[in-house]
Structure 1
Amino acid sequence: MQLHDVWFAVIGVLWTGYFFLEGFDFGIGVLTRLLARDRAERRVLINTIGPVWDGNEVWLLTAAGATFAAFPDWYATLFSGFYLPLLLVLVCLIVRGVAFEYRAKRPEKSWQDRWEAALFVTSLLPAFLWGVVFANIVRGVPIDARKNYAGTTVDLFGPYALLGGLATLTLFTFHGSVFAALKTTGDIRGRARRLAGLLGPAAAATAALFLAWTQRHTGGTGSLVALAVALLALLAALVANRAGREGWAFGLSGVTVAATVSMLFLALFPDVMPSSLDADWSLTVEGAASSPYTLRIMSWCAAFATPVVLLYQGWTYWVFRKRIGTRNIAGNH
């Protein structure tokens, strides 16, 4: 296996980690309107991810940085062609971070309501747009002979891409609901489990349709196996949720997210961005990669830094592992 193949796999792992962690993060943001009944319950949901949301976004920064360093042509074509959707995601992530920090800066109800509304919108939009972006990456977009994106922003929102957006939105919201059941106590915990039971079939239906479409278009044996794992894990998560096994339900929903992302990367390989104009103009793993020397330097840096980051983030989740409920929220929250 060549180093460029290894780094394609590494980038796939980074995106998998990002969607596993930020998936339930986005889901919690959406649930502040779907699940919470009052300000205290919204605060409970926000507090479940309050200590970890910013650490989850490190995976996105690392994935984007690794793409820039390992596959500069992929990075350039992707971020220029998908400029508006990715800019909207970036703006949402900025506003979302401000919402977390500024919501409690003033006691007025109107002030807190506005920031909570911003948190909901800036969780929902990225959850949808990431599905749109990756659907286009896998299916292919108009790329000309000079490696430039030759389409328009409207071209990025076809039926397949919109289905991909719905699949990630429903899947992340389900992922967030089982996380909420795992991390809360009292009435909100039971309602989170019941909501997960309703969201799961919707996520299964949209994910199955989207992944089957992907498999039919560009899939192989490996992607078919990943597709089967994703759907079976989602069904098992529903069974575990119904049985009240919240830890198993969350773990299995995480397996669903990981298998879904793996399926997309397996269906994409050996391309990194297929061209819908001419297959010879597609960006491939080998053709878009940096020099072997650059990839070797990156490999040494990653070998030293990655264990430190994983240990630190794992320690963070361990410290904040306890459940919370409305009784933990002060009256003047």
Structure 2
Amino acid sequence: METTWLVALGLMLTGWSVLDGANLGLGMSLRRIGRSGPERRLLLTALGPFLLGGEVWLVASAGLLIGAFPALEKDLLTAYYPLIVGLVIAWVLRDIGVWFRSRRPSRSWQGGWESVVVAASTVMAFAWGLLLGNIVQGVPTTGRPGVETLVGPYSLLWGAVVVAVFTLHGAVFAALRLPRGRRVRAAGTVRKAGTAALALLAAVGVLTPAFSVDLARPLPAAIMGVAAVVAVTLTLRLFERGREGWACACTAVAAAAPLLAAGLASAPRLRAGLASADSLDLLATVVFPAIPVLIAVQAWMWWTFRHRVGPRSAVFF
């Protein structure tokens, strides 16, 4: 039973990492891929249909964490309060920037909100990586870890990994959604982010023993690390061949890998925070029927908006 609930939580967080990870990556790359106001407007049009849909998974994950893992939720919030608050604030600012950017034609107005989108997307991705890096090192059951752990070198490395992988994911997603003639704008970001991601993933693998991180299940975590490296390598090769769709599938694996590595490595510790059997039985009547509905709606949405955007595409924000 414990495994079932951990899988459900992992599925929801994986959905967020893959779907909103593309949005965050595109947000971080907004000014690099889009060199002018109209180009950035096109990028936001590409992101528009998927913004709220990606966020649904994070909201659902938070609800499941509170309902099914109350002790774990308490420990996470107590130990990592600054990181979680920073992530939520960045999330709100990212959305505000996307919503407000096109409300006025003024270039200074639009440029200001574009900067907010870039900064907030970067902070949100980095905070998520810091949180994963801390979880890998063990969630304390009492008190809060010191600053040297919360934002220590090992945690910072995880933050950098997530930023690089999400940037790669977002750039490939942009190339998939933009008109083919604009693909060249994303190509440079794909190459740079992919190279950085490979170097940082290798650094995590090498430095994990050096930082004496005691993984509860090191083998599954190592497998996910290898999967991430393979996925990024395949992404670069497929993208060079013009196979953006398959490249985006590979970056989806890479975007999910840090979360899955942290979760698999820490699974035995995370089980301790599970709610009572009666609470889980009641929660199951809502959660398990809702998951296939969420997946079906997301699949329909991605199929409906699978085409490349253009001047006549619907603008959501």
TM-score, normalization by structure 2: 0.92
Stretches of structure 1 that go unaligned for 5 or more consecutive residues are 273-284
Are 1:318 and 2:303 an aligned pair?
Answer: yes
Take 1:69 and 1:154, find their aligned partners in 2: how far apart are those partners? 31
Judged with a 3 Å threshold, the aligned counterparts in structure 2 of structure 1 residues 196 and 150 are, in CA distance, closer, same or farther, namely closer
- 1:112-127 to 2 correspondences below 5 Å: 112-127=110-125
Judged with a 3 Å threshold, the aligned counterparts in structure 2 of structure 1 residues 213 and 6 are, in CA distance, closer, same or farther, namely farther
Judged with a 3 Å threshold, the aligned counterparts in structure 2 of structure 1 residues 258 and 155 are, in CA distance, closer, same or farther, namely closer
Report deviation, 1:187.
3.9
Task: Read off the aligned partner of 1:182 and give its amino acid letter.
Answer: L
Take 1:96 and 1:259, find their aligned partners in 2: how far apart are those partners? 24
Cα shift readout 1:135-159 (whole Å, capped 9, x = no counterpart): 0011125x3xxx3224345540000
Task: Read off the aligned partner of 1:246 and give its amino acid letter.
Answer: E
Q: Match of 2:67?
A: 69
Cα shift readout 1:103-133 (whole Å, capped 9, x = no counterpart): 2222222221211111111111111110001
Q: Match of 1:80?
A: 78
Report deviation, 1:242.
1.1
Report deviation, 1:329.
8.1
Cα shift readout 1:185-210 (whole Å, capped 9, x = no counterpart): 14421221232122211111112222
Q: Match of 2:131?
A: 133
Q: Match of 2:293?
A: 308
Task: Read off the aligned partner of 2:115 and give its amino acid letter.
Answer: A
Take 2:146 and 2:222, find their aligned partners in 1: how far apart are those partners? 31
Q: Match of 2:194?
A: 200
Take 1:67 and 1:305, find their aligned partners in 2: how far apart are those partners? 15
Take 1:193 and 1:151, find their aligned partners in 2: how far apart are those partners? 40
Q: Is the 8 A contact 1:197 1:242 kept in 2?
A: no
Partner SS state of residue 34, structure 2: coil
| Count of residue pairs the alignment pairs up | 311
Cα shift readout 1:64-102 (whole Å, capped 9, x = no counterpart): 111111111110111122112211111111122122222
Report deviation, 1:47.
1.0
Q: Match of 1:210?
A: 204
Task: Read off the aligned partner of 2:89 and give its amino acid letter.
Answer: V
Q: Match of 2:47?
A: 49
Q: Match of 1:188?
A: 182
Take 1:122 and 1:60, find their aligned partners in 2: how far apart are those partners? 16
Q: Match of 1:290?
A: 275
Take 1:247 and 1:99, find their aligned partners in 2: how far apart are those partners? 28
Take 2:62 and 2:205, find their aligned partners in 1: how far apart are those partners? 24
Are 1:176 and 2:149 an aligned pair?
Answer: no
Are 1:239 and 2:233 an aligned pair?
Answer: no
Partner SS state of residue 102, structure 2: helix
Stretches of structure 2 that go unaligned for 5 or more consecutive residues are none
Report deviation, 1:328.
4.4
Task: Read off the aligned partner of 2:287 and give its amino acid letter.
Answer: A
Which residue among 58, 65, 71 is the counterpart of 2:56?
58
Task: Read off the aligned partner of 1:24 and give its amino acid letter.
Answer: A
Task: Read off the aligned partner of 1:175 and give its amino acid letter.
Answer: H
Task: Read off the aligned partner of 1:107 and give its amino acid letter.
Answer: P
Partner SS state of residue 324, structure 1: coil
Take 2:109 and 2:188, find their aligned partners in 1: how far apart are those partners? 31
Choose 43-52 or 251-260, whichever is displaced more: 251-260
Task: Read off the aligned partner of 2:307 and give its amino acid letter.
Answer: K
Are 1:104 and 2:102 an aligned pair?
Answer: yes
Judged with a 3 Å threshold, the aligned counterparts in structure 2 of structure 1 residues 329 and 321 are, in CA distance, closer, same or farther, namely closer
Q: Match of 2:222?
A: 224
Take 1:16 and 1:329, find their aligned partners in 2: how far apart are those partners? 29
Partner SS state of residue 101, structure 2: helix
Q: Is the 8 A contact 1:197 1:241 kept in 2?
A: no
Aligned-residue sequence identity (percent) comes to: 32
Q: Is the 8 A contact 2:229 2:254 kept in 1?
A: yes
Q: Is the 8 A contact 2:26 2:167 kept in 1?
A: yes
Cα shift readout 1:250-283 (whole Å, capped 9, x = no counterpart): 00111122233222211112012xxxxxxxxxxx
Are 1:94 and 2:88 an aligned pair?
Answer: no
